[in-house]
Amino acid sequence: MTLTGSCMCGSIAYTVEADTYVSALCHCNDCQKWSGGAFTSNAVVPRASFKVTKGTPNSYDGIGTSGKINKHFFCPTCGSSLYTELEIMPDMTCIKAGTLDGGEANFKGKVDVEFYVKDRPAYLVAVEGAKQEQLLG
C-alpha cells in the first residue's frame, strides 16, 4: 500500500510504503498543545517506510513523560503538524492522519488504540473496539 500526504500549503509532501499501519488517537497534553485540537489521530508506520518527498520540515524536540525526546515535525510555512518521531519508539513514525491524502484520515472507520485516555476531554467517549491505554502503551 502506498500512502501520500502533505501539509496545508503543499510545500511539504511525503510518501509511505507499508503493508498496514496502526491507527492511534493520542489525548496527551503535548498533542493537544501541538495540534491545537483535543487529540491527535495518528497512522503509526515503520520509520523505514516513511519518506519526505518535497520540502524540508522544521522540528521541535519536546520531552515526553518518559523523559525521552519526542521530535515534532511541522511545515515552516503553514505550520501544519505533520509527524512525530519518539525516542521510545525508534523504529516507528507517527503520521498525523489529518495530513494524509485521499480521505485516509478516516482510517477505514477503525481506530486500533487510544493513548493517554486519562487526559481525554469529558465530552468525548471511548471509540468502540479501540484498546484503551492510560499512558503510552
In the complex, least distance from residue 94 CB atom to Zn ion, rounded to whole angstroms: 8
Residue 82 touches Zn ion, criterion: CB under 5 A: no
Query: Using an 8 Å Cβ cutoff, are 13 and 53 in contact?
Result: yes
**Using rule CB under 5 A, residue 63 touches Zn ion:** no
Q: CB–CB of 112/24 below 8 Å?
A: yes
Q: Which is nearer to Zn ion, 75 or 100 (CB)?
A: 75
Interface segment toward Zn ion; rule CB under 5 A; list 16-24, 26-34, 63-71, 105-113 = 26-34
| Burial of residue 45, with CB atoms counted within 10 A of its CB: 0-12 exposed, 13-18 middle, 19 or more buried | buried
| Gap between the Cα atoms of 100 and 45, Å rounded | 13
Among 26, 45, 94, 100, binds Zn ion (CB under 5 A): 26
Binding status of residue 9 toward Zn ion by CB under 5 A: yes
- 96 vs 82: CA distance, rounded Å: 5
DSSP 127: P
| 23 and 111 Cβ atoms separated by less than 8 Å | yes
Candidates 28, 45, 94, 97; binder of Zn ion (CB under 5 A) is: 28
x/- binding map, residues 85-104, to Zn ion, per CB under 5 A? --------------------
Which of 3, 25, 75, 92 touches Zn ion (CB under 5 A)?
A: 75
Residues interacting with Zn ion, by CB under 5 A? 7, 9, 11, 26, 28, 31, 75, 77-78
